[in-house]
Chain A
Amino acid sequence: MGNHSDGSPNHSGTVATAGQNEVEKFQDPGLPPHRLRLADTDPKAAKRAERQVALLFGTSVVGTLIFLVAYFAIDLGDGTGIATVRLQNMLLGLGTAFAMLGIGTGIVHWAKALMPDHEVSEERHAIRTEEDRQAAVRIVDDIAEETGIKRRPLIRNTLLGAVALAPLPALAIFGDLGPRPDDALKHTMWAPQDGKLKRLARDPDGTPIKAADVTIGSAFHVIPEGLNELHEHKLEEKAKAVVLLMRLNPESLNPSPGREDWAYNGIVAYSKICTHVGCPVALYEQQTHHLLCPCHQSTFDLTQECKVIFGPASRPLPQLPIAVDSEGYLVATSDFKEPVGPSYWERDEHERSINA
């Protein structure tokens, strides 16, 4: 773009020209006349602005004091109610906000109302001259000449090789970051251990559940027995193994062939992990037998083996086959017959190998 004020002809397509050969000229309008502020003319106004700035800085001081008082004076000892903690949080936040805002707004108001506000224009300089460009090219040429990189290809090639190989250790290190999931998503804690079937236990206390405890209309939140005793990866295991246990009238269940013995007396157990993106599906309506996922409203129908009847989930919730052991406790007869939770790259392969 040309400089509009230097009088050179302007043929930019956006500027309409009045006549055929007439040159459109812009007069540099210059700066508008300087307008004095109230504080420039009226000493009283200046004094007032000064007080306002001081008041803003004072606000900042008060904010800092609020922060310090809230931090040190509010005692968060044992038995402190949540209200006190949240009150302190609020005061800390308000204190910091006032402390920062006071300084910021004070400086801005000071600059706007009291500091000199005469307009200054700076001339635009040419960005590049031909001499500067030549000088830069000469410097690069000098470097190439003095290092002798053109004359000594051995050095050049070994340097290129060294630089190309240097990132390889990083590849190896990053490739080993953390354990690879391998088939961790394929199994859960429900798989029988040493021939012993896992009992269904209450979340969070881990006590086993008797079949007789589960009355019609009940919903139990279930974890595998032994989960609470894990020392490592407890949350990871829980995230895969959580199950919702419900009891319906046995007539309302419609098991497909091969799944007739997965329920016990109308008691069914389904994975709580949504097959869409893995939210816990635990909103159970005991009259309609719908299970609702709170994240994206996927709805599963318990009477049709948790078929998706609404929402973005694409697969039914996996069912956990259950039975009753000799003492009357509910046990899982095997692990889930498919990987739980949302899709992942190797899922189909894992499902095939589980059912093989």
Chain B
Amino acid sequence: MKALSQKRRHPLAAIALLLMGLLVTGGLYAVATTVNQAKASTSFSANDAEEGGKLFAANCATCHGMGASGSQAGPSLVGVGAAAVDFQVGTGRMPMQMNGPQAYKKPAQFNEEQTHQLSAYVASLGPGPSIPEASVLDGQGDAANGGELFRVNCAMCHNAAAAGGALTRGKFAPALSGVSEKHIYEAMVTGPQNMPVFSDANIGPEGKRDIITFLKQIEANGSPGGADLGALGPVSEGLFVWIAGLGVIIAFTIWLTSRTS
């Protein structure tokens, strides 16, 4: 301990600490993602549905009604399918924190197993989109085709760089970086909240796989040109140019006309 406390003011200590932090986060992330991939089971047992029914009655029935038949506060969930529940509960959007134009993404309230049971219960109420197979989530599709489909169908709301954008009256399309493959797929199939539905008759499973490939590709490629300023286009870029660009020009004129000491 003594050696450690002596070396903590070493100039390289900060770098070492940073490296350690990065390694730990990266390692945890790698473990977390493999865990996610491992559990892509889509089969539900009768027990799952029964347990899910109990969870539903305790946590969701206030708004969605007993038997998920809907109430004034929330829509009926008969026929929305397991994919809708997995998306809404898995991303923390449901249970909703408060009434508002839109449910926000937040840390999930239920763990993987409970989400699975809730999905099983809602899926048992009526046929609907099921949780996607791992084969369409592998990110090995055609990124170029995915990019074209994304620009035609998604980019108007989610931004050409998938950075998200505003809608009417307080609603917005969220940014898509950091969203898991499964949740992207489920959002397309179920059309959560104000997002339109992109059923398999519109964009087939292959097309959806391509879109996911494209999204993961642009996410992995990052922004080698430096800060992308939120990828929001002329607003943030214009602000930067007006402040930084004009600032540099003013600084140069001051330097040009000043006397050297």
Contact = CB atoms under 8 A, between A and B. Distances in A.
B194 interface: yes
A108 interface: yes
A283 B157 contact: yes
A112 interface: yes
B28 interface: no
Contacts, number: 97
Contacts of A81: 217, 221
A280 B156 contact: yes
Interface string A66-95: 000000000000000111001101100000
B238 to A, nearest CB: 16
A287 B193 contact: yes
Given A218-B197, A280-B156, A290-B168, A82 B191 contact: no
A266 to B, nearest CB: 14
Contacts of B223: 86
A286 B191 CA distance: 8
Interface residues of B, number: 35
A287 to B, nearest CB: 5
Interface in B168-221: 168-169, 171, 173, 191, 193-199, 201-202, 217-218, 221
Contacts of A90: 224-226
Contacts of B196: 217-219, 246, 284, 286
B197 A288 contact: no
Main secondary structure of the interface of A (DSSP, over half): mixed
Nearest to A37: B260
Contact of B165 (A213, A217, A294, A310): A294
A284 B221 CA distance: 29
B148 interface: yes
B108 interface: no
10 contacts: A37-B259, A38-B260, A86-B223, A86-B225, A112-B260, A113-B260, A217-B191, A220-B202, A288-B194, A290-B167
Given A87-B225, A283-B167, 12 more contacts: A86-B221, A113-B260, A202-B202, A213-B202, A216-B197, A218-B198, A219-B198, A220-B202, A283-B165, A285-B167, A292-B168, A294-B156
Which 7 pairs from chain A and chain B are nearest by CB?
A: A213-B201, A219-B196, A285-B194, A83-B221, A282-B156, A217-B197, A87-B224
